[in-house]
């Protein structure tokens, strides 16, 4: 076989480990492997590089992706110059298919999150042999227990929560740590629990200003002169909207979230709690750097499993990690429905049992 690999969407730790896993296992089957540069842009514009054993040697521990990535190169609504434009997106899927055939490819491995895999499913429905690999630090893809990149992001977020504890305690302040996660609160929830956060605000549980203030005051009454708030970027007030920093034309998900932590700080500073607030927005540091050992292990297993699916010609499938084993599900099953935190889930009840507030007194476990 001759296979192509691409990495789409936002970068995250572990992408190179997947590329390495697919490539090494494919080469040992006697296959030929090429990598498309910058996600689907490489497929549309026929921009690629051959992948040999030496090309993927030493990349296991590296963050990012040696292939490059793009979260705007949608073959069905292409906006990148010179072939497309933001003003008039073009459907260049036929060109992608033509390049696939011209290169003599037998299959494509698409590594990415919901947007990348949705495009992969569209290509598969039109006849392209595709296998998907789930990637996102948000951990919000359905049909898999965990995605690679999440553990690394969680590690960064938890360390940040750990570090602000000393400053909060020394200065008697409220420290607010804002994590990524888009519409799912997995990073904030687990970093909040692992880091000993006092208040955790999630997109799935709308917060109420009076309950956030009440939680801080209750801690003061118990002699706690500081509080740690861990807030997901998609957190929102009851009957309110998420905080949007800007809109990006041509992106599959044009809404850029961020800045809700400053709203929380304003709520607290305008109250009578008598404590100053400080904000730490983690942003893209959660997506950079070396992958954790777990993410290296998970990503490598995903890559090898993808190669197995190709060998069995199980196209239209996505590698999945369930019950601590590698399996596969249809890409269609994995996309279109986000995996989000359930307010009644065990993890939420665990936090509540420890006295953590979710900024909503109606959530009692």
Round the CA-based radius of gyration of the chain to a whole number and report it.
22
Residue 232 · residue 187 · CB < 8 Å: yes
Residue 236 · residue 182 · CB < 8 Å: no
Spatial distance between the Cα atoms of 286 and 193, rounded to a whole number of angstroms: 17
CA 276 and chain centroid, separation: 32
Spatial distance between the Cα atoms of 196 and 262, rounded to a whole number of angstroms: 21
How many residues would you count in the chain?
Answer: 365
Cα distances from 300 to residues 59, 292, 293, 305, 347, in angstroms, run 11, 12, 11, 9, 28
Helix/strand/coil (H/E/C) assignment for every residue in 173-209: EEEEEEECCCCCCHHHHHHHHHHCCCEEEECCECECH
Catalytic residue among 138, 151, 198, 295: 138
Where are any strands of DSSP class E within the chain? 2-7, 32-36, 48-50, 107-112, 130-134, 173-179, 199-201, 227-232, 244-247, 255-257, 276-281, 317-322, 325-330
Residue 32 · residue 49 · CB < 8 Å: no
Nearest CA to 332 among 317, 314, 313? 317
Catalytic residue status for 138: yes
Mapped onto helix, strand or coil, the DSSP state of residue 9 is coil
Nearest CA to 60 among 18, 6, 115? 18
Catalytic residue IDs: 138
């Amino acid at each position: 076989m001759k296979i192509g690999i691409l990495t789409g969407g936002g970068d995250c730790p572990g992408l190179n480990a997947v590329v390495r896993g697919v490539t090494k296992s494919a080469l040992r089957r006697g296959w030929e492997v090429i990598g498309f540069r910058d996600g689907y842009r490489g497929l549309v514009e026929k921009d690629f590089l051959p992948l040999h054993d030496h090309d993927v040697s030493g990349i296991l521990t590296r963050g990012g992706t040696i292939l490059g990535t793009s979260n705007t190169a949608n073959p069905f609504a292409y906006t990148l110059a010179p072939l497309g434009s933001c003003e008039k997106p073009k459907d260049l899927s036929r060109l992608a298919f033509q390049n696939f055939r011209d290169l003599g490819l037998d299959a494509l491995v698409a590594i990415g999150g919901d947007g990348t895999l949705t495009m992969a499913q569209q290509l598969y429905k039109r006849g392209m042999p595709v296998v998907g690999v789930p990637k996102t630090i948000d951990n919000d893809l359905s049909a898999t227990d965990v995605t690679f990149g999440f553990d690394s992001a969680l590690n960064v977020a938890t360390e940040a929560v750990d570090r602000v504890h000393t400053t909060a305690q020394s200065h008697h302040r409220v420290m607010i740590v804002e994590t990524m996660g888009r519409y799912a609160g997995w990073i904030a929830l687990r970093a909040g629990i692992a880091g000993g956060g006092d208040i955790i605000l999630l997109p799935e549980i709308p917060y109420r200003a009076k309950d956030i203030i009440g939680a801080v005051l209750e801690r003061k009454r118990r002699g706690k002169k500081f509080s740690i708030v861990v807030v997901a970027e998609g957190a929102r007030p009851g009957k309110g909207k998420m905080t949007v920093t800007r809109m990006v034309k041509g992106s599959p998900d044009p809404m850029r979230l961020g800045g809700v932590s400053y709203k929380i700080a304003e709520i607290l500073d305008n109250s009578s709690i008598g404590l100053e607030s400080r904000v730490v927005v983690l942003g893209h540091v959660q997506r950079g750097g070396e992958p954790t050992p777990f993410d290296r292990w998970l990503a490598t297993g995903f890559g090898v499993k993808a190669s197995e699916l190709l060998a069995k010609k199980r196209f239209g499938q996505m590698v999945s990690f369930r019950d601590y084993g590698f399996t596969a599900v249809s890409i269609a099953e994995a996309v279109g429905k986000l995996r989000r935190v359930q307010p009644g889930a065990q993890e939420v009840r665990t936090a509540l049992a420890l006295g953590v507030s979710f900024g909503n007194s109606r959530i009692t476990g």
